[in-house]
Amino acid sequence: MKYILSCCLLTIILGLLLVDCSKKDDSPTPGTTTPPSSTTTSPPSSTAAAGSVAIVTTLAGNGAEGYVDATGSAARFKNPSALVCDLADNIYVVDLNNGRIRLVSPTGSVTTLAGSGAVGITDGTGTTASFYLAGGTYVSRDVAGNLLLSENSTTRAAIRKITPSGVVSTTAIVPIGIGTPLGFYGLAAATNGDIYISDGTAIRLFHASNLSIFAGGTRGYANGTLSATQFSNPDALAFDTDGNLYVGDANACVRKITPAGVVSLLAGQPGVLGTADGKGSAATFRNITSLVADKQGNLYVADNTLIRRVTPDGTVTTIAGSGTGYADGTGTTAKFSDIRSITIDSKGVLYVADLTNQAIRKIVIQQ
């Protein structure tokens, strides 16, 4: 009997030793690390930033093309390409191929604010106004709550203003050509009324009716002081609450310009395309089309079919989206087709212009 008990005890001890050895064999070799992937093009695995969940729904539109003022899925758009929230959390939407500015309430009620549907530059109120929306079109909101819209034709670049009551006027208009802007694209309005405009290779400043180069001017990639920097199609612009200006550069990265005029890399690898999450240059982007900042200083980035979050220290996390498609859901179970613009309301709710899905999508982030 003692012999049997001794054998059982010996067997248990040997088993525990083997389990412990197995655990040690599975651990990495001391002093080695696995670098993060910086060129991956597969959908990221994360569904939200740490401690939060992003819930995606459709606010208005349903994937069908058309022009119908209605509520929710009964409304129709024809390529909603740019959007921004007003002071009451209504959403201005540039309905590109309908040639109109639509207004979407927080409950999804869609109305036409301005535009006749005809192509042109006609100031006026409501449907008496007309827009030239064939070129790249971007929007911002000024401190008074007006919509600012960039327009481009083959001969001129313009900034139009639309008030909450639908009164349309032209704030600036300049010719396009040698020695003049290549076009007006991304817009960001500062709290002092200045307007910052992206222009192919430069960030321009519209101050007191005067247009000047604020940063850049030569195509390429370079950080440093304003005059020494280089950009490549820096279309997406956004301010945070501290007055830092962020730039979505076609170099596949997010740049930061401080109020002191210092330009640096916040996140991404210049010239490297991908969907890798990570910190700073460990992250990659594919196609940055829009930026918006929340009250905590986080940036949200429209990146092709993904919504990415960038914290103030440059940590990038994919919070919603995966491959191309149309699906509501949580985190990466949701799908977008062609994200052109993103905005945020006073409560921190995100809205997305999903161009070819003909819809305005809504993202609620739950902590």
- Identify the three-state secondary structure at position 292: strand
Q: Which amino acid is present at 258?
A: T
**Looking at the predicted structure, is the pLDDT value of residue 33 above 80?**
no
Average of per-residue pLDDT across 47-59:
79
Report the C-alpha gap between 188 and 236 in whole angstroms.
9
Are residues 162 and 168 in contact, defined by beta-carbon separation less than 8 angstroms?
yes
Q: For tokens 């309005």, name the residue.
A: 189
**Does 35 or 165 have the greater pLDDT score?**
165
The per-residue DSSP string of 105-153 comes to: -TT-BEEEEE--SSBS-B-EEGGG-BB--SS---EEE-TTS-EEEEEE-
Report the C-alpha gap between 311 and 307 in whole angstroms.
13
Q: Note the pLDDT of residue 155.
A: 87
Task: Please give the structure tokens belonging to residue 322.
Answer: 């995966």
Task: Please give the structure tokens belonging to residue 320.
Answer: 């919603």
**Looking at the predicted structure, is the pLDDT value of residue 192 above 90?**
yes
Closest by CA to 349, choosing from 294, 290, 291, is 294
Lowest average pLDDT, out of 7-11, 27-31, 67-71, 237-241, goes to 27-31
Report the C-alpha gap between 17 and 273 in whole angstroms.
47
> Which residues are CB-contacts of 111 (< 8 A; sequence separation ≥ 6)?
69, 102, 103
Task: Please give the structure tokens belonging to residue 126.
Answer: 């409501």
Q: What is the pLDDT of residues 138-152, one digit of tens each?
A: 999 999 999 999 999
Handedness of CA 268, 270, 276, 279 (dihedral sign): negative
Strand 80-85 versus strand 53-60 pairing type: unpaired
Q: Give the length of the chain.
A: 367
Q: Which amino acid is present at 159?
A: I
Task: Please give the structure tokens belonging to residue 284.
Answer: 């990659």
- Identify the three-state secondary structure at position 226: helix
Average of per-residue pLDDT across 57-85:
97
Q: Note the pLDDT of residue 285.
A: 98
Task: Please give the structure tokens belonging to residue 171.
Answer: 């704030």
Q: Note the pLDDT of residue 50.
A: 56
For the entire predicted model, the pTM comes to 0.85
